[in-house]
Amino acid sequence: MPRSQLAIRTVIFSMLGNVALALIKFLTGFLGNSFALIADAIESVVDVFASILVLLGLRYAARPADDNHPYGHGKAEPLITFLIVGFLIFSATIIAYQAVQHIRIPHQGPEPWTLLVLAAIILWKEVSFQLVMSRSKKLKSSALKAEAWHHRSDAITSVAAFIGIVIAIWGGEGYEVADDYAALIAVAFILYNCYKIFRPALSEVMDEDNHEDLAQEIRDIAIQVKGIKDTEKLFIRKAGMKYHVDLHAHVIGDLTVREGHEISHRLKDKLKREIPQLGHILIHIEPFD
């Protein structure tokens, strides 16, 4: 299955799961008198819209290179990630505001049975996080990584809600606001996750060359090619699920231009075979002294 198709299927899985969980949380929070669960549901609704953005971004990023985009459309991925971070911050702001309002107004405490629903939600979100994160690592996708952290932040908000409900039930009268303080704690975790999602995407947009392991793999493969004596400069930049490479390779200085050209093509073909996630590869041939 193509890498882009696998990524799209992963996002659809996340999106459908978030739709179901948002409905469950809203109903449980409303019937069980838990604002922490309602706040959790708000985040799930935002996650649905974020998943739609990821889906659109992955589809656009998968487009092949054209005259206007010779390196492809992969940069759409981190740009979509920025929008997702914005959605998360927006949802955190709404949750914080509503939690403060509930703290100021006396209200009935949550029902004990809401804990059973939360326990099931926490388990499901952690399983979803592990699945989507493993796919993001396999496909080297920043957008999928952001999608995975959505699941983890959702699990964290559910854990905070669980703790708040336990305190509210155990403490009894006067402890009802524990549920609301749990929502505020969840907001702090959401904002922290925003940073964790934002930083790698910014690195990708700024073309930071922090791919040491991949660089070493490329150099090791290069010196296996007949005619390549050594490698010098190597620049790598990530765009979506592809890595674009500029490599300076040394060959014997008295070769003809045609021979040097053929060696560079052998090197490029071998790199493509050995490392499928490489996109555009530029080989610059230099004389070896």
What is the residue-level pLDDT of the chain in tens, covering all 289 positions?
Answer: 566 677 777 778 777 887 888 888 888 888 887 766 777 777 677 777 777 777 777 777 667 777 777 777 777 777 777 887 887 788 788 878 877 877 777 666 677 788 888 888 888 888 888 888 888 777 767 667 777 877 777 787 778 778 877 887 787 676 767 777 877 887 887 788 788 778 877 877 777 777 888 889 999 999 898 888 888 889 988 877 778 889 999 988 888 888 888 999 999 999 988 888 888 889 998 888 7
Judge contact between 287 and 253, C-beta under 8 A: yes
Last residue of a domain, one of 205, 233, 261: 205
Judge contact between 39 and 95, C-beta under 8 A: yes
Which CATH number is 224's domain given?
3.30.70.1350
Last residue of a domain, one of 205, 233, 249: 205
Distances (CA, A) of 121 to 12, 37, 57, 151, 207: 18, 11, 27, 11, 38
Domain that holds residue 256: 212-288
Whether residues 14 and 31 share a domain: the answer is: yes
CA angle 182, 44, 9 (to 5 degrees): 140
Whether residues 63 and 165 share a domain: the answer is: yes
Non-local (6+) Cβ contacts of 262 within 8 A are none
Domain count, the chain: 2
Last residue of a domain, one of 177, 205, 233: 205
Whether residues 173 and 47 share a domain: the answer is: yes
Q: Would you call 114 exposed, middle or buried from its count of C-beta atoms within 10 A (0-12, 13-18, 19+)?
A: buried
Question: Which structure tokens are listed for 230?
Answer: 């050594």
Whether residues 38 and 172 share a domain: the answer is: yes
Whether residues 139 and 250 share a domain: the answer is: no
Non-local (6+) Cβ contacts of 18 within 8 A are 44, 45, 47, 48, 51, 150, 154
Whether residues 8 and 67 share a domain: the answer is: yes
Whether residues 189 and 222 share a domain: the answer is: no
- Residue 53 CB coordination number (10 Å): 20
Question: Which structure tokens are listed for 102?
Answer: 């509930």
